Amino acid sequence: MGAEEIKKDMDITSWPSDLAYEQWVALPVSGARPSARYKHAAAVANEKLYITGGSRNGRYLSDIQAFDLRGLTWSSLKLEIDPSADKSEDSGLQEVLPGISDHSMIKWENKLLLLGGHSKKSSDAMIVHFINLETHVCGVMETSGKIPVARGGHSVTLVGSKLIVFGGEDRSRKLLNDVHVLDLQTMTWSVVEATQTPPAPRFDHSAAVHSERYLLIFGGCSHSIFFNDLHVLDLHT
């Protein structure tokens, strides 16, 4: 079934009810589609799918695209710099959102939070960018505590009001297998001092949480090995 046939047969106002179980469908979207990319991040909030950054032809992307899940329409968001940001940095020249790839993104309250990632703008510590979904203001969240080293290809999992960060690759290509927690209520970082043998250092793995307690890590790779192992970490103390 081609896209034109789908447009004729599917009512865009009720497309979820038109889907059949276990059937892939190419949605009849409208609007300017985002450029092709990989290593981007995605999150759903307020009936919209948001796409940020990624890589294309060796270039880091800095755009944010929104897909309206009701109207099936793509649009590009124009962001504004956080007015409270320090304008003295880089002689007053600021990027709204730097080109970024291999980052993570989650929705928290009325914001999208972008954690880590690789960028031309180097940093020793992990940066948390925010995008306010109501005002489209973008900036950097101020965090404290034991801030993780900057990295990309890590995993970020939301557990209650805390983000669990595992692994990744730092800007010198060192592989990581550490676990960090960001308390979103206080924006304070802490380190999980786990016992027993941890997973081998890795990046581009997947992570999920079971019963708001158990962090599951599967797969990923090193610079020479692809993993298919499964690890679990009890987050309750």
User: What is the mean pLDDT of the segment spanning 201-225?
Assistant: 97
- Asked if CATH classification 3.40.50.80 holds for the domain at 31-86+94-142, the reply, yes or no, is no
Tell me what pLDDT residue 22 has: 78
User: What is the mean pLDDT of the segment spanning 192-210?
Assistant: 96
The answer to whether 64 touches 79, Cβ cutoff 8 Å, is yes
Q: Is the dihedral of CA 167, 168, 172, 174 positive or negative?
A: positive
Q: Is the pLDDT of residue 83 over 50?
A: yes
CA-nearest of 208, 153, 130 to 38 is: 153
DSSP assignment, residue 89? G
CA dist., res. 116 & res. 87, Å (int)? 22
Q: Is the pTM of this model over 0.95?
A: no
User: What is the mean pLDDT of the segment spanning 107-130?
Assistant: 95
Q: Is the pLDDT of residue 4 over 50?
A: no
Q: Is the pLDDT of residue 2 over 60?
A: no
Tell me what pLDDT residue 6 has: 44
Q: Is the pLDDT of residue 106 over 70?
A: yes
Strands (DSSP E) found in the chain: 41-45, 48-52, 55-56, 59-60, 64-68, 73-76, 80-81, 104-108, 111-115, 128-132, 137-140, 144-145, 155-159, 162-169, 175-183, 188-191, 206-210, 214-218, 230-234
* Tokens 């595992």 sit on residue: 166
Could you count the other beta carbons within 10 Å of the beta carbon of residue 62? 17
Q: Is the pLDDT of residue 236 over 60?
A: yes
Q: Is the pLDDT of residue 215 over 80?
A: yes
In whole angstroms, how far apart are CA 54 and each of 37, 88, 141, 147?
Answer: 6, 28, 21, 24
Average pLDDT, the chain: 90
Question: What confidence tens digit (pLDDT) does each residue in 11-42 have?
Answer: 556 677 777 777 888 888 999 999 999 999 99
DSSP assignment, residue 5? H
Tell me what pLDDT residue 88 has: 47
Domain ranges for the chain: 31-86+94-142, 152-237
| Weakest-pLDDT range from 2-6, 28-32, 153-157 | 2-6
The distance between the two most distant Cα atoms of the chain, rounded to a whole number of Å, is 58
Tell me what pLDDT residue 20 has: 75
